[in-house]
């Protein structure tokens, strides 16, 4: 079951998800090149944003 290990490591095999990710990566690079600070998930409307950890929340809230 090599495909199962690949999917677990790299995500869905759905071609539309791959296209969305490709477009988001390009948009993120353009954004960062122009001084933006967007996140990859800002350009992926169908992807779930990963949950924030307690340490990250404490760091952001000061």
How far does CA 24 lie from the centroid of its chain?
8
Whether residue 4 lies inside any domain: the answer is: no
Express each pLDDT in 12-36 by its tens digit: 888 898 999 999 999 999 999 999 9
43 within a domain of the structure (yes/no): yes
For residue 56, being part of any structural domain is answered with yes
- pLDDT attached to residue 22: 95
Q: Report whether pLDDT(6) > 90.
A: no
* Three-state secondary structure string covering 12-40: CCCHHHHHHHHHHHHHHHHHHHCCCCCCH
User: Residue 50 has what pLDDT?
Assistant: 87
Contacts of 24 (CB under 8 A, 6+ apart): 40, 41, 43, 44, 47
Asked if residue 41 is part of any domain, the answer here is: yes
Percentage of the chain beyond pLDDT 70 is 100
In a domain, 33, yes or no: yes
Total domains in the fold of the chain = 1
Does some domain include residue 1? Answer: no
Rg (CA), the chain: 15
Domain range for 31 is 11-61
Q: Is 15 exposed, middle or buried (0-12, 13-18, 19+ CB in 10 A)?
A: exposed
Per-residue model confidence (pLDDT) at position 8: 84
């Amino acid at each position: 079951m090599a495909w199962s290990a690949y999917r677990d490591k790299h995500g869905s095999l759905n071609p539309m998800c791959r296209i969305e990710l490709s477009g988001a990566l390009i948009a993120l690079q353009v954004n960062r090149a122009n001084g933006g600070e967007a996140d990859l998930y800002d350009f992926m409307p169908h992807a779930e944003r990963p949950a924030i950890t307690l340490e990250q929340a404490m760091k952001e809230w000061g």
